[in-house]
Homo-oligomer: A and B are copies of this chain.
Amino acid sequence: MTELVTFGETMALFAARRTGPLRFARDFDLGLGGAESNVAIGVARLGHDVTWIGRVGADEFGDLIRATLAGEGVHAHAIPDPAAPTGLMIKGRRTADLIDVRYYRRDSAGSRLSPADLDPGLIRAARVLHVSAITPALSGSAREAVRHAICEARSAGVTVSLDVNYRRALWTPEEAGAWLREVVGEVDVLFATEAEGRLIADAEGAEELAAALAGLGPRHVLLKFGAEGAMELSGGVVRRAEPYRVTEVDSVGAGDAFAAGWLADWLAGAEPGQRLATACAAGAFAVTSQGDWESLPRRADLDLLRRPADGVSR
């Protein structure tokens, strides 16, 4: 039985091999990416039964998404939409330190998700529903799908997890803030960076922000500080996690990996401290190699970041 249900838009991803302005990039690798499917893969690799739902084009990129997710052990409901193509993501690197992502997702198949695509029985039978605030920014029907899913989950006592994942290409901070304030009261687990948290609540320091957010409803507030680690406020207790010291290769997907690590340990009934540590380790894995989700860890991998200094396993 599926323990976690998630949905959203997953896109074909063209990733530039070279650093510099995209117009000089020349060589691209084809893959795929999407915040929710990244989380789905992450949780599945850590041992849980996961379902992802989304619309894809009736095209090669839709097939790529379906095959890749199935190959990763996710139950992938990749609904083919004959009327719109799979969305695209173009990912480059303007400088060694600055990633540049562009989308071709307007009117894409993924943005046409609607409440009817979501099987209520599946949500009601799960333990967690995970959504991101990307989906409501895609289209009116997608926004309805999110509300509908949260409603089903809450009425069945299913835990609701939301990762803010603010995308300025899709909506303004004001629009995002308004929507987030509307739904935050129905959310049990909230993932956000500090800047994202301030779209919802106004507070100076990180702890004050976490408290303000928790005051709006979420039982678990997770604040991510990038290379500076993370913080959790649960049951009135604040926990901080030190970041891992790793060489960063590609920072995209780190937040999704963090969410995956936390949710997997929550599903496994791990202690709060362990949960946060796993979230940080998963986030660290995500940045240490190319690709948004390829390097997500399995349980057996979690120890690798603590390996001896010579860095060679034979």
Contacts and interface: CB of A to CB of B under 8 A. Distances in A.
B311 A99 contact: yes
A93 interface: yes
B70 A290 contact: no
A215 B15 CA distance: 52
Contact of A168 (B99, B168, B314): B314
Which of under 10, 10 to 19, 20 to 34, or 35 or more describes the interface residues of A?
35 or more
A25 B289 CA distance: 11
A14 B312 CA distance: 16
How many copies altogether?
Answer: 6
Interface of A is mostly: mixed
Interface string A66-98: 111011110000000000010010001111111
A30 B92 CA distance: 12
Interface of A: 14, 18-30, 59-61, 63-64, 66-68, 70-73, 85, 88, 92-104, 106-107, 167-169, 193, 195, 226-227, 246-249, 251-252, 285, 288-291, 294-295, 301, 304-305, 307-314
Given A23-B61, A290-B19, A312-B252, A95 B29 contact: no
B25 A30 contact: yes
A110 to B, nearest CB: 13
Nearest to A291: B20
Nearest to A23: B64
Among A19, A29, A64, A251, chain B packs the most CB atoms within 10 A around the CB of A19
7 contacts: A20-B291, A20-B295, A21-B295, A27-B27, A94-B289, A98-B288, A101-B314
